[in-house]
Amino acid sequence: MTTAGFRHEAFLYAGNDDFLAGAMAFLEAPLAAGRPALVMTDAAKVALLQAALGERSTAVDYADMGTVGHNPARIIPTWAAFAEANHGAGPLWGIGEPVWPGRSPAELDECRHHEVLLNLAFSAAALHLLCPYDTAGLDADVVDDVWASHPRVGPATARPAGDGVSADGVVDAASLLAEALPEPPPDAIVAGSGIDDLHGLRHHLRAVAGASGLVAGEIDDLVLAVDEVATNSLRYGGGANEVLSWIDAGAVVCEVRDRGRLTDPLVGRRRPSADQVGGRGLWIANQLCDLVQVRSSDAGTVVRLFKQPALVTAR
């Protein structure tokens, strides 16, 4: 997991002073060598870091993780774009904080997946990533998850006893697809199934989304995302599917089920090439939805999509 120059380390800190100390120490190497560096954390920490770096802050790129990583599936493409833009510039350095207090259980689950998938996506990249975790604000079980996704955890910290991770410190990315999702609520509505129901599905989703508080553009995004996934499901997922919908904490949730099997753990997290034919549905869904969960096994495939009103998604 750490071959070809890729380094993936979790950094446990408690409060802003700890964060600044760790981030500043990490950035010393790229700043001294003139190497590209990208910091993705919340806007407040970006401002603190820029102030601490002073004139040197202009040598670092920044992004608000609350925007970039609201849907965790968009983070790997951002790192990939950073690597592509700086191809040949030597080792690249990055700080990315995908987990913060207030994340929903479903978001935390996808953040956990994201952290494991980084090891797969960049296994051959000369990229050094530091992932801060605020031990003062996060639940202990969330912090404990870093041991299953990061080959290194610092500052020097003893691995929890019986944590069950592999010898190299991370779980197998391929196993993530087979994990189960929580069952839909009993009042979930079967919104449609089969190719003949796509028009009715779109009509149903517009009605549900409008009643939930989504505005016109948000409704269009959700309908397009579900339509893409449902259409792909019918084409490649065994010829039949089922779509359910419900409301969860203000978000409209849609779930597409079929009998097909996906095998790529990074599905939907790689930007399609300009000449690529097909395979865009889950990428599009991730760009349009606040969260997309994909699970697949011999029992079939489930894609769960979340869309919240804009006022709810503000961090």
Q: Both 108 and 240 in a single domain? A: no
Asked if residue 181 is part of any domain, the answer here is no
Antiparallel, parallel or unpaired: β 7-13 and 37-41: unpaired
Q: Both 120 and 246 in a single domain? A: no
CATH, residue 95: 3.40.50
Neighbour-count burial for 275-306, b at 16+ CB within 10 Å, e otherwise: eeeeeebbbbbbbbbbbbbbbbeeebbbbbbb
Q: Both 130 and 232 in a single domain? A: no
Q: Both 13 and 78 in a single domain? A: yes
Q: Both 215 and 303 in a single domain? A: yes
Strands of the sheet containing 152-154, edge to edge, are: 61-64, 37-41, 92-96, 127-134, 7-13, 152-154
pLDDT at 174: 85
CA distance 182 to 170: 24
Q: Both 30 and 138 in a single domain? A: yes
Q: Both 261 and 305 in a single domain? A: yes
Asked if residue 18 is part of any domain, the answer here is yes
The residue from 142, 171, 200 where one domain ends is 171
pLDDT at 233: 81
Cα separations in angstroms, 183 against 165, 167, 180, 187, 267: 26, 32, 9, 11, 22
Q: Both 133 and 255 in a single domain? A: no
Low-confidence ranges of the chain (pLDDT < 50): 1-4, 161-168, 313-315
CA distance 292 to 157: 33
CA distance 13 to 275: 44
pLDDT digits (tens, 9 = 90+) for 172-205: 888 999 999 999 999 998 876 655 566 777 888 8
Q: Both 139 and 272 in a single domain? A: no
pLDDT at 191: 75
Here the tokens at position 73 are 């599936």
Here the tokens at position 245 are 């919908």
pLDDT at 199: 73
Provide the residue range defining the domain that includes 249: 189-313
| Residue whose token pair is 């792909």 | 232
Angle of helix 43-53 versus helix 16-33 axis, rounded to 10: 60
CA distance 72 to 153: 21
Asked if residue 89 is part of any domain, the answer here is yes
Q: Both 130 and 89 in a single domain? A: yes
Asked if residue 182 is part of any domain, the answer here is no
Closest CA to 165 of 143, 145, 135, 139: 145
SS3 assignment for 12-40: EECCHHHHHHHHHHHHHHHHHHCCCEEEE
CA distance 158 to 152: 11
pLDDT at 304: 97
CATH, residue 197: 3.30.565.10
Asked if residue 144 is part of any domain, the answer here is yes
Whether pTM > 0.85 for this model: the answer is yes
Asked if residue 121 is part of any domain, the answer here is yes
The residue from 104, 137, 171 where one domain ends is 171
pLDDT at 213: 83
Q: Both 157 and 197 in a single domain? A: no
SS3 state of residue 216? helix
Asked if residue 184 is part of any domain, the answer here is no
Q: Both 99 and 160 in a single domain? A: yes
Overall domain count for the chain: 2
Asked if residue 274 is part of any domain, the answer here is yes
pLDDT digits (tens, 9 = 90+) for 255-293: 999 988 999 999 999 998 877 766 689 999 999 999 999
